[in-house]
Chains A and B, each alone.
Chain A
Amino acid sequence: MDITRADLLAALERAATGIEETTLPDQEDLLGWARLWNTISFYPELQKSEEVARFHQLFVSRILPQLPAKLGMQTSRGMSLHSPELDFTVGGLLEERYRYRVRDLEDS
């Protein structure tokens, strides 16, 4: 899935607010945020910006610890978190199917 850098940053801002305000995130929320986190992890240069850092901090401290219980994720290769049922991996190899492809960064 392709995304522009501007759209990604906007999505990250919405997601950060969502994490702060949602007390009981559903599966769709969690997977959406996980896909965003995989994306910023794949492009470390993005993490220099404030909005990305804010989302990263919220996701690592509040969402990652919930994933084993809420999505049945298990530790996998590279200390990623993987759900065979959902066919989704957070972290690890950061395969393209589990993240966005930021066109602006691929082209540069």
Chain B
Amino acid sequence: MVTATRAVASRSGPDADAALHAAPTRQASAHKPNQGPRKVPPSRVQASAPAHPRCGCEGGAARPSSSAWRYYQAPSAPAAPSAPAAPSAPAAPSAVPAASGVGAGAVTASLSGLTFSASGDFSPCADCVDGFEAIQVFWGTQRTDGVQVGQFQRAFPPLAATYDSFVDGGRDSPGGATYSGEHPYYIGRPDLPASYGYNSSMGSAGSASGCVVSPSDAPAAAALHQEAYFETAFVCLNFRGSGEDEITKSVQWGFDQLGTVPKAHPRTTDPGPIVRGSPSAEFGDTLRADYPAYPF
């Protein structure tokens, strides 16, 4: 029986981050995905992306630097009150009011066989002008038949393995992008404004309605990777009309041994899913690799 159904274990906040933060590597490869086994080892280009203004997580050493980001980690101790900004004059990241229009989020997640489902309720969510979406990233050891998926690889030091990585449903995803432009979202919402560029042929991997977002997946191809991991984050769209998103909580889940053993992350033996108070540094790296201009 290869079934694991697990109640949510909340391991949120910077402590959960700390163990996972290590100098990330990002390697570019000229090999195109789904074009057969890679013939030439990918060239390894060390990335040196700048620290992100919202999460401050590049390189893994820094704590989240903005009040907006901290708000999601410690909703009981918000920043000093200030008036919410009008959409035409978005608030600075450091001006999250005490009575913010985004709930801290109640997240549940489960894994049964290869089927993942999660749900996050972020009520109230008046600050999320366009509601919620999800962003899902993938990290997998090289496929057993040598085919590369995605455009990049990364490592999880001190582990020796290299992992193919991409934003699932994103522009470098083997299945193509769910949305056009700088919209790396996973689920697929036909109700979003046309400016998001939803590709309706991609369908919807879950649902998002109001303040509740419920991504789901059944990654059959996990059986082709000795290890296959995902991190699925909940995203507040168009935060206070600023045009930027707020990435809130995330869930780590995945498999070892060709999809047969649940395992949440390369560096843990925990079967997961693991709910985090904020996305990992590796999540940020993978997101920036595929979407360097995505504002979040």
Contact = CB atoms under 8 A, between A and B. Distances in A.
Interface of A: 37-38, 40-42, 44, 47-48, 50, 53, 56-57, 60-61, 64-65, 67-69, 74-82, 90-95
A92 B218 contact: yes
A87 to B, nearest CB: 13
Interface string B210-234: 0000000111111110001010000
A61 B113 CA distance: 12
A53 B1 contact: yes
A60 B223 contact: yes
Given A41-B218, A53-B1, A92-B220, A75 B149 contact: yes
Nearest to B138: A79
Given A56-B113, A77-B176, A93 B205 contact: yes
Given A44-B5, A91-B218, A92-B218, 4 more contacts: A57-B2, A64-B221, A75-B34, A78-B136
A79 B204 CA distance: 14
B152 to A, nearest CB: 15
B207 to A, nearest CB: 11
B2 A92 contact: no
Interface of B: 1-3, 5, 33-34, 110, 112-115, 117, 136, 138, 140, 143-145, 147, 149, 168-169, 173-176, 178, 186, 202-205, 217-224, 228, 230, 258-260
Interface class of chain B by DSSP: loop
A82 B176 CA distance: 12
B99 to A, nearest CB: 37
Given A78-B168, A91-B221, A61 B258 contact: yes
A47 to B, nearest CB: 5
A60 B110 CA distance: 19
6 contacts: A42-B218, A53-B2, A64-B220, A78-B217, A91-B217, A94-B218
Given A74-B34, A92-B220, A80 B114 contact: no
B223 to A, nearest CB: 4
Interface class of chain A by DSSP: helix
A75 to B, nearest CB: 4
A50 to B, nearest CB: 8
Contacts of B115: 41-42, 44, 47
B271 to A, nearest CB: 15
A77 B222 CA distance: 12
A44 B147 contact: no
A40 B169 contact: no
Given A68-B147, A77-B168, A93 B203 contact: yes
Contacts of B224: 64-65, 68, 75
Contact of A79 (B3, B110, B228): B228
B113 A40 contact: yes
B174 A76 contact: yes
Contacts of A75: 33-34, 143, 147, 149, 174-175, 221, 224
